[in-house]
A and B are shown apart, each in its own frame.
Chain A
Amino acid sequence: MSVIYVLLAISICVALVFFVAFVLSVKKGQYDDAYTPSVRMLFEDELVETTSEKNNQSKSQTK
């Protein structure tokens, strides 16, 4: 039954890993601004779209 010591050690280690991850994320400022990243996430690949759009626009202008 001494396996319980091993299990306890493992479970606490896993828990500590998550705790440290939490502390680090707070330290990096992830909780300071909870809104902007949610918007920024949606913008990641807009560059391609805008170039094509610009082309469309310049075409329509030349018409």
Chain B
Amino acid sequence: MIFVIGMKQMSVDKACYHCGDACSGNTVLFAEKEFCCNGCKTVYEIFTTNDLSYYYDIEKAAGKTPEENLDKFDYLENAAIVSKLLEFDEEGVQVVHLNIPHIHCSSCIWVLENLKRLHQDVKSSQVDFPKKKVRITYSSKNLSLKELVVLLARIGYEPHISLEDYSKKNNAVNRGLIYKLGVAGFAFGNVMLFSFPEYFEVEEFWLEQYKHVFRWLMFAFSLPVVFYAARDYFIMAYKVLRSRLLNIDVPIALGILTLFLRSTVDILFDLGSGFFDSLTGLVFFLLVGRFFQQKTYGFLSFERDFKSYFPIAVTKLNGDKEEDSIQVYEVKAGDRLLIRNQEILPVDSVLISGSAQIDYSFVTGESQVVFKSSGDKLFAGGKQKGGVLEVEALKSVSQSYLTQLWSNAAFSKNKVSQFQTITDRIGKRFTIAVLTIAFLAAAFWLVVDASKAMNVFTAVLIIACPCAIALAAPFTLGNILRIFGKHQFYLKDTNTIERLAQVEMALFDKTGTLTSATENTIFYEGMELTEQEVSLLKNTLRASNHPLSRSLYGILKSQEIETLDAFEEETGKGVQGRVDEHSIKAGSANFIGQKVDSRSLDTSVHVSADDNYKGRFVFKNKYRDGVSKLFEQMAGGYTLAVISGDNEGEKNTLEELVPFGTPLLFNQKPEDKLYFVKELQSKNKVLMVGDGLNDAGALAQSDVGIAISENINVFSPACDAILDASKLTQLGNFLKLSKQSIKVIKISFLLSLCYNVIGLYFAVTGQLKPVIAAILMPLSSISIVVFTTLASNYLGRKLRSQKER
């Protein structure tokens, strides 16, 4: 992730045929094609020898460099763990659902569905592209789950297996809404056809004969609609009434009930044809609205906690150095654990032996590795990059520094149920108004013509049923949600847009949010290096795969390629190379033999030539482009603040970027962030923008939590929205659009009130015929849908043109 530096220089080089990355330094030539590394070449070889080279024809360079370390799947030999992961396991056939984050194009689908050509024991494999999952059926006699996973990892499709898969077993998909929509649509279509004859030929002889058949058929079709499709509205209305509140569901449920009872009474006593078509149409439109609102991003998860990051099992060292794979929940304080390259520390622990290079990017967003030596404390969530470590657990998983954050109440509260939507707010007043009108009109007719009183009362409830109002928000917000999605701003639900529109204060995390996790600025301090030394250094670095070496290699300007007489790399410490009489060393301060300056907390690479200390290259996070512009734009409408877990080292740089007087908080622990947000919430609606697990508390506590992600396929903490890092500068426009969408909803409320006034005229004067209801109801609904869709698309287009400007 770190070697983006120097991309411009690298783009001159050829791109790897397999993965498309720039080939730097060690280009591997094979079959007249260039590969960036041996891993990519091997995958190409596997594909071509197994008749799978079509992979490269569908999409160019769709692959991924395979992971070299495959030992980490050793825990899949543990039968207890395997049986929990399997979906089906009987008579030698096993079925497993694996989550593969790399799935991103049609080549991926093709190669994964042809997995059986790579291994004969794979019976079938089916990809679910939107969810980035593959379901594999295989014969377990000759192929174990571990072998299968290793096979996938070897071709670059490494499955992500986490504690989450392990503890959660509810795979049942909720298809209730589709069934209900189907039932309502089916009934609506049929009832409409049956009701037509009576609208046109009222006095005709044959119609008089058969109209009862038609009426009872309509009654029969409306039964499943009322009792099945519309069930949720009754349940919700009942719940709301029981808590002594009013929302939009109350008048809807009342309208449906009145429609059904009035129509039944009408046909029972031959008073009219009833309103069955309006009834089924109403329910159908309402469900369409709900369906439209329910846009989900299958491949994203907004509910992730540390469980999705942590491994299922770790290697425990028993007394006699015997290795044993145990589940992470079984880790107790005092256990000796073995952490291999690329493994994540599941618990807070003390380093016993090995050279630790911990990447805390999951936790802080800072992707630069931290070096630790034995006796140092390591925190859960860090990823080892380098050799094998032996550590002693200090705590159990749930008690670790990071994970105990999840016991805070902020994670159990439900933001949606606490929030009153704009529709519910209007629904309250609406219900009161409708009931008042209904009773007044009924009272009036009781005096004038008592026989009409009941007719008028029910007519008011029917015609005032707020179908159009209930559709305004789902269609506007559902559409805005899709527009946001096209701009790589993924929201959990439409409710988030309404909350976003109310935000008054925005908090930003620094590392990984305002700064880029993939780009660095590197500067050199110390004695100037001679041309020869630079050349030697570059050639020495060329052979090293360490991320810092790769970054540094990219910026050094030297073209000569020399053959080194000697080269040595000490993993995690540094490299040294020699040509003729000259030698160069680059690496950690200890490696060079320089005393560590304890005040300096920066990541740096020290250099010495011929054993004389020269200086150091300092790596600093680069602020994302347009950050200061974003702050400038937002400062007008919002109170801003930056809250960071880092030390104050960057204070001066940051002060130049943000508008004068913006509060900057440093050294904030995860809980501090959470409580800071909580404190602010007593006065303001707070938006939190963060990225790492250390922001998870603040994201959960805030009114809207937005997680910034460099690559939306990798995991981000639980939040309300995920924003692609490249679109951070658009945030101000997104907020503006969410406010505008609320305006659109308000205008459509006015529009639908106009329809209600027209309808109420007919209802109050006792002239409401089924045919009027049958025209008015769909007309109002459809015109609202058309208006909101056009309006939100228009606003969405403005967003696009702003981007281009």
With a cutoff of 8 Å between Cβ atoms, the chain B residues found around residue A42 in the complex are 106
Judge if B182 is at the interface, Cβ distance under 8 Å.
Answer: yes
B213 and A35 within 8 A (CB): no
Is A32's CB under 8 angstroms from B173's CB? yes
Q: Which residue of A lies closest to B129 (CB)?
A: A36
Give every chain B residue within 8 A of A43 (Cβ-Cβ). Answer: 109-110, 113
**A34: B residues at CB distance < 8 A:** 130
Q: A1-B206, A36-B109 known; A57 and B53 CB under 8 Å?
A: yes
Interface size class of A (residues with CB under 8 A): 20 to 34
> Distance in Å from the Cβ of B352 to the closest Cβ of chain A?
47
Are A47 and B213 in contact (CB-based, < 8 A)?
A: no
- Map CB proximity to B onto A21-59 as digits: 1 under 8 Å, 0 otherwise: 011001101011111100110110011011101100100
Bound complex: CA A50 to CA B711 (Å): 33
Contact yes or no, A33 B128, CB < 8 A: yes
A-side contacts of B179, CB under 8 Å: 23, 26
B581 to chain A, nearest CB (A): 45
Interface centre among A23, A36, A46 (most CB of B within 10 A): A36
**Bound complex: CA A47 to CA B190 (Å):** 47
In the complex, per-residue mask of A1-22: 1 if CB is within 8 Å of any chain B CB, else 0: 1001100100010010001001
B182 to chain A, nearest CB (A): 5
Which residues of chain A are within 8 angstroms of B109 by Cβ–Cβ distance?
A: 36, 39-40, 43
User: With A5-B213, A15-B186, A15-B190 known to touch, is A26 a contact of B51 (CB < 8 Å)?
Assistant: no
Residue of A nearest to B183 (CB): A19
Which residues of chain A come closer than 8 Å to B131, judged between CB atoms? 33
Q: How far is the CA of A26 from the CA of B178 in the complex (A)?
A: 8
Bound complex: CA A61 to CA B30 (Å): 10
Interface bits B19-57 vs A (CB < 8 Å: 1, else 0): 000000000000110000000000000001001111001
Q: How far, in Å, is B221 (CB) from chain A's closest CB?
A: 9
Question: Cβ of B634 < 8 Å from any Cβ of A?
Answer: no
Q: What is the CA–CA distance of A21 and B57 in the complex, to the nearest angstrom?
A: 38
Considering the complex, which residues of chain B in the window 197-256 have a beta carbon less than 8 Å from any beta carbon of chain A? Answer: 206, 209-210, 213, 217
Alpha-carbon distance A47/B113, docked complex (angstroms): 12
Query: Given the complex, which residues of A lie within 8 Å of B31, measured CB to CB?
Result: 57, 61
Chain A residues near B48: list those with CB within 8 A.
54, 57
B113 cross-chain contacts in A, Cβ below 8 A = 40, 43
A22 touches B182 (CB 8 A): yes
User: Which residues 682-715 of B have a CB within 8 angstroms of A?
Assistant: none
Contacts of A29 in B (CB 8 A): 173
Complex interface residues of chain B between 164 and 199 (CB less than 8 A to chain A): 173, 175, 178-179, 182, 186, 190
- In B95-135, the 8 Å CB interface with A consists of 106, 109-110, 113, 126-131
How far does the alpha carbon of A23 sit from the alpha carbon of B182 in the complex, in Å?
A: 8
Which residues of B lie under 8 Å from residue A40 when comparing CB positions? 109, 113, 127
Nearest Cβ distance between residue A40 and chain B, in whole angstroms? 6
Contacts of B128 in A (CB 8 A): 32-33, 36
Q: How large is the interface on B (under 10, 10 to 19, 20 to 34, 35 or more residues)?
A: 20 to 34
Report chain B residues within 8 Å CB of A36: 109, 126-130
Q: Are A47's CB and B51's CB within 8 A?
A: yes
Q: Is A49 in contact with B54, judged by CB distance below 8 angstroms?
A: yes
- Of the candidates B182, B186, B190, B210, the one whose C-beta lies within 8 Å of that of A26 is B182
Q: How many A-B residue pairs have CB under 8 A?
A: 73
User: Contacts of A53 on B, CB cut-off 8 Å?
Assistant: 53-54, 57
A42–B57 alpha-carbon span in the complex (Å) = 13
B residues in contact with A51, CB < 8 Å: 51
Least CB distance from B99 to A in Å reads 14
Give Cα A12 to B213, complex, Å.
Answer: 13
Interface contact B129-A50, CB-CB below 8 Å: no
Q: Are B54 and A50 in contact (CB under 8 A)?
A: yes
Smallest beta-carbon distance B48→chain A, Å: 7
Chain A nearest Cβ from B576, distance in angstroms: 40
Task: Kindly state the separation between the CA atoms of A54 and B45 in the bound complex, as whole angstroms.
Answer: 12
Which residue of chain A lies nearest to B128 when distances are taken between CB atoms in the complex?
A33
**Closest approach, in angstroms, between the C-beta of A34 and any C-beta of chain B?**
8
**Contact check: which of A31, A47, A49 meets B175 at CB < 8 Å?**
A31
Contact of A26 with B175 in the complex, beta carbons under 8 Å: yes
Tell me the smallest distance from the CB of A6 to a CB of chain B, in Å. Answer: 12
Decide: B210 and A4 in contact? CB cutoff 8 A: yes
Are A19 and B54 interface neighbours, CB within 8 A?
A: no
Q: Give every chain A residue within 8 A of B175 (Cβ-Cβ).
A: 26-27, 31-32
Interface residues as binary, B52-73 with A (CB distance below 8 Å gives 1, 0 otherwise)? 1110010000000000000000
Which residue in chain A gives the minimum CB-CB distance to B130? A35
Question: Please, what's the 1-or-0 string for B580-598, where 1 marks a CB less than 8 Å from any CB in chain A?
Answer: 0000000000000000000
Q: How far is the CB of A9 from chain B (nearest CB, A)?
A: 10
Whether the pair A39, B210 counts as a contact (CB closer than 8 A) is no
Q: A33, A42, A61: which has the most chain B beta carbons within 10 Å?
A: A33
User: B106 and A54: CB pair below 8 A?
Assistant: no
Instruction: Report chain B residues within 8 Å CB of A49.
Output: 54
Cβ-neighbour of B52 out of A31, A33, A50 (below 8 A): A50
CA distance A28 to B58 in the complex (A): 29
* Complex-state Cα separation, A54 to B54, whole angstroms: 9
In the docked arrangement, what's the CA distance between A42 and B178, Å? 27
Assembly CA distance A36 to B130 (angstroms)? 8
Once the chains bind, are A33 and B213 in contact (CB under 8 Å)? no
| CB neighbours of B126 from chain A (8 A) | 36
Assess the B209–A1 pair: CB atoms within 8 A. Answer: yes
Query: Smallest CB–CB gap between B223 and chain A, Å?
Result: 14
B110 touches A46 (CB 8 A): yes
For the complex formed, measure the closest distance between the CB of A58 and the CB atoms of chain B, giving whole angstroms.
Answer: 9
Q: Whole-angstrom distance from the CB of A60 to the nearest CB of chain B?
A: 8
Which residues of chain A come closer than 8 Å to B129, judged between CB atoms?
33, 35-36, 39
A40, B127: Cα distance in complex, Å: 9
Cβ of A35: which chain B residues have Cβ within 8 Å of it? Answer: 129-130
Which residue on chain B has the smallest CB distance to residue A33?
B128
Please indicate the chain A residues that have their CB under 8 angstroms from the CB of B217 in the complex: 8, 12
Cβ contacts under 8 Å, B51 to chain A: 47, 50-51, 54
Set of chain B residues within 8 Å of A61, measured between Cβ atoms: 31-32
- Ranked nearest first, the 4 interchain pairs of A and B with the lowest CB-CB distance are A36-B129, A50-B54, A33-B128, A39-B106
Sample of 14 further A-B pairs with CB below 8 A, known A5-B213, A47-B51, A49-B54: A1-B206, A8-B217, A19-B182, A22-B182, A36-B129, A36-B130, A43-B110, A50-B51, A50-B52, A51-B51, A54-B53, A57-B31, A60-B32, A61-B32
23 pairs across A/B with beta carbons < 8 Å?
A1-B206, A1-B209, A8-B213, A8-B217, A12-B190, A15-B186, A15-B190, A19-B182, A22-B182, A22-B186, A26-B175, A26-B178, A32-B128, A33-B131, A34-B130, A35-B130, A36-B109, A39-B106, A40-B113, A43-B110, A46-B54, A60-B32, A61-B31
